[in-house]
Structure 1
């Protein structure tokens, strides 16, 4: 079981704004933001569904890039949420990496959509339920 995941971003304000918009359709909101006075180094923001953040972004340390992009798949309750996530992410400046649709090579009900965030991280919303 995954408790939470974090990724490094190069432009913290831009990425925070992207995720606030892209994750809203699946019920995620920014639940916590901490500055360097708390973390000791960089700004971080936690997104999730009340009461607990489970998706975190962290500002890259000065002069550092985020390294290799990662893939994060967020399970949602409906195919409509997958579509709404995809549309919101594109409207927020994300790039298409796979339009909403069935990915039968995973299983017959796998309905997902993929976008690249401002740092090239592959973010997916997926619903496993039929219809």
Structure 2
């Protein structure tokens, strides 16, 4: 649906460490780094950009996970990398019967989610 998104972060180094760990289980890696910015995504297609600067408020970003194991791995990697648990991996039936997600606050307070919509 979108080509890319950029969020401002206070400390690019700590945010890069967090997102590198959190996004690895989802198949996203650093694709660009320079000029005060870091771009993450699949090979050759950075879609999440971090730019050092003042945030204008928190955002919610949800990343698609290929399966429930990837959602669990995202959460397990994100918390020790500087994230704060904001919802352990599990079903969210209020959204729909197969909505399996985990939520973590990044170092700037953004709500980062990994979600899988498959039955198992």
Asked if TM exceeds 0.5, the reply is: yes
What does residue range 114-125 of structure 1 map to in structure 2 within 5 Å?
Answer: 114-125=103-114
How many corresponding residue pairs? 120
Aligned counterpart, 2:81:
92
**CA deviation map 1:84-130 (0-9, x unaligned):** 00010001010000000001111100000000000000000000111
Q: 1:67 and 1:120 mapped to 2: Cα distance?
A: 12
Residue 102 (structure 2) pairs with residue 109 (structure 1): no
Could you tell me the TM-score, scaled by structure 2's length? 0.97
Could you tell me the TM-score, scaled by structure 1's length? 0.89
Q: 1:69 and 1:54 mapped to 2: Cα distance?
A: 18
Residue 33 (structure 2) pairs with residue 44 (structure 1): no
Residue 60 (structure 2) pairs with residue 71 (structure 1): yes
Shift of 1:34: 2.1
What does residue range 27-42 of structure 1 map to in structure 2 within 5 Å?
Answer: 27-35=27-35
Q: Which runs of 5+ in 2 are unaligned?
A: none
Larger Rg: 1
Q: 1:114 and 1:33 mapped to 2: Cα distance?
A: 26
Q: Which runs of 5+ in 1 are unaligned?
A: 36-42
